[in-house]
Amino acid sequence: MTFFHVDTVPVATGTVSVAFTDRRLDLGDLAADDVRAAGLAEVAAATGATPYLMHQVHGTAVHVVTGPDGAFPDADALVTAEAGVALLARAADCVPVLLVADDGRIAAVHAGREGVRRGVVPATLAALGRVPVRAWVGPHICGGCYEVPEEMRAEVAAAVPATHASTTWGTPALDLGAGVLAQLAEAGVPATEVGGCTREDDTLHSHRRDGAAAGRLAGVVWRHP
Ligand SMILES: [Zn+2]
């Protein structure tokens, strides 16, 4: 099983699938070359599409993919109208968000603390334009686990109030998932939540739990030819 969750939905140009990997694959840049290559080969086999990765930099840049060109752009969102390309947003506590527009365009978004604060999801929705969109919000660290300094909580919550949270042990925290859901709701985009808290569920990759060597899971979206 390559994915722990798959949904397939109709669009104007056919069908689109959205899926999420778990700890059985490590798709991160720190994975050994053969481990990551094996994971990407599994994704390619399961989707029948060419995996497309981005070099995630905690920004709001949206890269438009016009085909499986092998580029590795600095971006936190990928958008395409093409079939045969599987867009990946990789994460280990950050929020992988997959978007499907009714016209058949798809997007994969990496929304970490900076991405939520700076609005990478709204930026991607703006790039998709005025067309009905559905969203899938993948596994991420929950607000009860994601401890941050008080001033960091204040800074992010000033931009996205829904992120304001406290840990289960009573210290300042951020709820990135709530922030993404609020941004989607503000844009009128219905969202499906998939998976649990990455830190608490050891079938998922977590930077907070596993440290700097943590692997990466992925949200994957592709349109069937
Ligand atoms: Zn948690």
pLDDT digit string, tens, across residues 73-84: 999 999 999 999
Per-residue pLDDT, averaged over 196-203, amounts to 97
> Which residues have CB less than 5 Å away from ligand 1 (the ion)?
142, 144-145, 197, 199-200
Q: Is the pLDDT of residue 2 over 90?
A: yes
- Reported as a pLDDT band with limits 50, 70 and 90, residue 104 is very high
Mean pLDDT of 107-124: 98
User: Could you list the residue range(s) of the whole structural domain that residue 109 is in?
Assistant: 5-223
**Residue 78 burial (C-beta neighbours within 10 Å; 0-12, 13-18, 19+):** buried
Percent of the chain residues topping a pLDDT of 90: 96
CA 44 to centroid of ligand 1, rounded, Å: 31
**Residue 66 CA, ligand 1 centroid: distance in Å:** 37
Are residues 223 and 16 in contact, defined by beta-carbon separation less than 8 angstroms?
Answer: yes
In degrees rounded to 5, what are phi and psi of residue 140? Answer: -160, 170
Give me the CATH number covering residue 141. 3.60.140.10
**pLDDT at site 57:** 96
Mean pLDDT of 56-79: 95
pLDDT at 131 over 90: yes
Q: To which H or E segment does residue 113 belong?
A: helix 113-118
pLDDT in tens, 132-191: 999 999 999 999 999 999 999 999 999 999 999 999 999 999 999 999 999 999 999 999
Q: How many domains does the chain have?
A: 1
Interval between CA 146 and ligand 1 midpoint (Å)? 7
Question: What per-residue confidence (pLDDT) applies to 128?
Answer: 97
Percent helix / strand / coil, the chain, rounded to 5: 25, 30, 40
